[in-house]
Structure 1
Amino acid sequence: MSTDELLSPDEREALMEVVSETGCSGVETVGDQESALPYDLAGQDYAISSLLPVLETIHERFAHRLGIGLFDLVRRELTVTAKSVERRAYPDFTRSLGAPCSANIIQLSPLSGPALLVFDVELIFMIVDTFFGGTGRMYKSTSVRDFTTIETRFIQRLLDLCFSCLEEAWQPFVALKCNRIGSENRPQFITALNSNEPLTVCTIQISRDNIAGNVHLALPYSLLEPIRKTLLSSLCQEHPNPSPALTERLHDGLQESQVEVRCALAGFELSLSDLLALRVGDVIPVNIPPTAVLRVEEVPLYSGHYGIAQGWSALKIDQALSAPDDWASRLTPPDFAPFAPAP
């Protein structure tokens, strides 16, 4: 069926006029400056993204200390892996948690507002099984149940361990004191946090053999906003932890380091064609200066007179060319080829 049979000439003309008017108005809308929407660079998305590097550092410190504490708790080596810090919406995070789980509402004083510290059920079962010398068999329940008395005690021990590790991990940045406000076994019943506020979620995976569990730390942005400037300024600062033993080992290692020392008597420039034209018996005139330069790792440090000492080609140092502070500024390519000692 052709178009002429569907539409009359008047209908086609009216349709073309509507299309033309719509196209023209669309062009004017694009150029209208009043239709531009404002964008807040200091919004929560940008603010949280800027905090991710320092939160990653704190998260790594937390995972390291947690691994040491878990070994003291169960007397067995567990693999502790710190995953990347993520920005997640509150409903998405709670839906990702299985039931039952130990969702603890915690307070990080002096910060205002609650946070979440969640232990997966797999982690709790694994810790209990490992503590009592189990083989790593994962217990599976046919229905959702509450934790037993023994499991609840281990949850409290895990909570105390995480609190001490968190306080140590945050110590170079902010002095915190952790305490628990409440807990839930089912994530959907958690109402202490604002569901419209974005979270920064730090996840640590703890594994043994073929089983693994996770620890989740969810921090709302309102909790981090008062210390945002402090955290950002800490990115440009170093937090030294001096160790006399380590300093001495580094000093001894530097003293025993091998460096390349080279000395040249004279040199000259030669084109590639002249080099290829050289034959046995050719004489190359060279002007040998009265002093030679000693280079250490290509840095000229000393100059002196050359000669023979105890049957070896030797250099008698007369003066230092520069102070140690000026060595880096005197980095220049070598002018001469090295010479080998003559026996």
Structure 2
Amino acid sequence: MAEILSQSEIDELLKAFSQGEVKDLEKVEEKKTKKIRSYDFRRPNKFSKEQLRTLQMIFENFSRSLTSFLSGYLRTIVNVVVVSVDQLTYYEFSNSLNNPVFIAIIDASPLEGPFLLELNNNTTYAILDRLLGGMGKGEFLDRDYTEIEVNLLTKIVKQILPLLEEPWSNIIDLTPSLMRVETNSQFAQIISPNETVALCTLSIKINETEGMMNFCMPHLTLEPIVPKLTTKFWFSSMKKEEKVNPELIKEKIDKTYIPLTVQLGSTTVTVGDLLKFEVGDVIMLDKRYNEPVEVIIDKKVKFKGIPGIKSKRYSVKITEVIYKGDEESE
């Protein structure tokens, strides 16, 4: 049975409490609870939330450039968006990969250490199908990549890497280059399994096929620039947009080289005649010797002229301008 306090004891207790000699036990317990924070030593957090948010901003800029590039390169509708940016151990990342897998190990110069780019099978087979004339269906084939497929994917990765330079320019002048390609995750152990990495996952949708692209960035590689991975530094170092100079653009265009073809004439022959051609045979064209020839640029007839010789070289003298610039609608 609990002890019952007398009236005098109750008065003494209230007096002590009012003078601050007795502390509020609930407030003390609440303060102690706030100071306790769980920490997993097997998965130490080396990136703050702000640093991960800055990485997400970098790859959102990259995803926009990648969308434009892949849409033009594959000649189809492509959409790339950032799904997540997380930190985890390299073991957790490598353990989630299924073989065969396409992994590009990237030299992240001037940083000391590599990045890792992984394309899952849905993405790679959709790209390969589109490059080889298909509709871009990512049908998974349970086999290793062929040498031709690896070469095609390697070529496209080499063209993707320069797109990383501009998004990273506010933090560091990155010049990424491809070191090697692996199709087995066991041969892509670039760091210790317990090391922390930042993993950026992008979703790539090619027509109706959706796949993933993962950028794995070890903390050891990013360590020299981790203090710069803040939104404040990001916006303070953004370069001001330069005003467009029409004269400079015109000057650059004027120095651009374009292929030009002169067509003397054409004709048709049978397959039988073609197989009988020998050195010394004469082919009759559909134009007379005194008729003007066509000067073709980008598969369009732009000028007509008369063939001749100048400074011991075959030449064409322009006699007629078909149309200039955009005067004729296409």
* TM superposition score normalised by structure 2: 0.57
How far apart are the structure 1 equivalents of 2:37 and 2:76?
A: 57
Runs of at least 4 residues off by over 4 Å = 36-40
1:79 — aligned with what?
79
Q: Which of residues 159, 165, 181 is equivalent to 2:179?
A: 181
Shift of 1:210: 2.9
1:212 — aligned with what?
210
2:117 — aligned with what?
117
Describe how 1:138-153 pairs up with structure 2 within 5 A.
138-142=138-142, 145-153=143-151
Shift of 1:68: 1.1
1:311 — aligned with what?
none
How far apart are the structure 1 equivalents of 2:98 and 2:38?
A: 39
1:132 — aligned with what?
132
Describe how 1:234-273 pairs up with structure 2 within 5 A.
234-237=233-236, 239-242=238-241, 244=243
How far apart are the structure 2 equivalents of 1:38 and 1:205?
A: 32
How far apart are the structure 1 equivalents of 2:221 and 2:175?
A: 14
1:198 — aligned with what?
196
1:63 — aligned with what?
63
2:302 — aligned with what?
none
* Alignment-mate amino acid for residue 126 of structure 1: A
Q: Compared with structure 1, are the counterparts of its residues 136 and 72 closer, same or farther at alpha carbon in structure 2 (3 Å cutoff)?
A: closer
* Alignment-mate amino acid for residue 102 of structure 2: S
Describe how 1:234-313 pairs up with structure 2 within 5 A.
234-237=233-236, 239-242=238-241, 244=243
1:226 — aligned with what?
224
Flag structure 2 segments of 5+ consecutive residues without an equivalent.
1-35, 245-330
How far apart are the structure 2 equivalents of 1:204 and 1:64?
A: 11
* Alignment-mate amino acid for residue 242 of structure 1: E
Most deviating of 47-56 and 195-204: 47-56
Shift of 1:224: 1.3
How far apart are the structure 1 equivalents of 2:138 and 2:110?
A: 39
2:162 — aligned with what?
164
1:26 — aligned with what?
none
* Alignment-mate amino acid for residue 233 of structure 2: S
Cα pair 1:48 1:221 within 8 Å, conserved:
no
Deviation sequence 1:41-67 (CA, Å, 0-9, x none)? xx9515343411210110101111111
Cα pair 1:44 1:221 within 8 Å, conserved:
no
Most deviating of 219-228 and 204-213: 204-213
Deviation sequence 1:160-209 (CA, Å, 0-9, x none)? 12211111211122101112222221213322222111110111111123
How far apart are the structure 2 equivalents of 1:230 and 1:151?
A: 39
Q: Compared with structure 1, are the counterparts of its residues 55 and 38 closer, same or farther at alpha carbon in structure 2 (3 Å cutoff)?
A: closer
1:11 — aligned with what?
none
How far apart are the structure 1 equivalents of 2:209 and 2:57?
A: 27
How far apart are the structure 1 equivalents of 2:120 and 2:89?
A: 19
Q: Compared with structure 1, are the counterparts of its residues 191 and 210 closer, same or farther at alpha carbon in structure 2 (3 Å cutoff)?
A: same
How far apart are the structure 2 equivalents of 1:126 and 1:175?
A: 32
Flag structure 1 segments of 5+ consecutive residues without an equivalent.
1-35, 246-343
Shift of 1:38: 12
1:261 — aligned with what?
none
Most deviating of 198-207 and 223-232: 223-232
Shift of 1:135: 2.8
Q: Secondary structure at the match of 1:229?
A: helix
2:321 — aligned with what?
none
* TM superposition score normalised by structure 1: 0.55
How far apart are the structure 2 equivalents of 1:170 and 1:95?
A: 28
How far apart are the structure 2 equivalents of 1:206 and 1:180?
A: 21
* Alignment-mate amino acid for residue 116 of structure 2: L
Counting aligned pairs with the same residue, the percent is 27
Q: Output the aligned Cα RMSD.
A: 2.8
Q: Secondary structure at the match of 1:212?
A: strand
State which structure, 1 or 2, has the greater radius of gyration over its C-alpha atoms.
1
How far apart are the structure 2 equivalents of 1:50 and 1:221?
A: 15
Shift of 1:157: 2.2
Q: Secondary structure at the match of 1:150?
A: helix
